[in-house]
Structure 1
């Protein structure tokens, strides 16, 4: 039986994205970070909506007008084309995210 906390990567020199489900207008992925952040000039501007939840660890998502700190259980729904980036993830432990991309 698959488990979101199993088979975690040992090498986290880069963030790891694992697609768990892909079907028509929905993609669900597990993301594992440790001290990663988006490049200072890099913003995500996605065509799909994205709902993310932090399952373990901590992160800060930056939007053009605010920053949101995420701890285990925190989640946020990001509308399509709302520019955002990962400002910070804790460097002392894995941050495990579940991201659901959906919509147009």
Structure 2
């Protein structure tokens, strides 16, 4: 048995990403961020849908074309459709932010 809150580092130079499950169509990651952000000028533009939930801590996600970042706290989650440009603007520098990120094949859209 494993626990999502085991081995949560207080500080690290880079995010800690642990793959919890992976199949040809699905990938589930636990991500630990403490003050980590997406580098300036970089945007994520992934070929899979992504669902993220914050289990501990706080973060801000910015989506291209939106005037303000979205604030996420414990229990908040968001679905990011494939090829939706986004970035992590802020994570709490004093407390590790623990996320789950579920990546899966894009759903068919009309």
Residue number in structure 2 paired with 1:56: 56
Asked which structure has the greater CA Rg, the reply is 2
Structure with greater proportional strand content: 1
Count of aligned pairs: 104
Residue number in structure 2 paired with 1:76: 78
1:103 to 102, 105, 109: 105
Compute the TM-score of the two structures, normalised by the length of structure 1: 0.96
User: Structure 2: which 5+ residue stretches go unaligned?
Assistant: none
Question: Residues of 2 paired with 1:90 and 1:46: CA distance?
Answer: 24
| C-alpha distance after superposition, 1:71-101 (max 9, x if no partner) | 0000000000000000000101000000000
Compute the TM-score of the two structures, normalised by the length of structure 2: 0.90
| C-alpha distance after superposition, 1:20-54 (max 9, x if no partner) | 00011100000000001001111000000000000
Change in CA separation of 1:77 and 1:25 when aligned onto 2, cut-off 3 Å: same
Alignment root-mean-square deviation, CA:
1.0
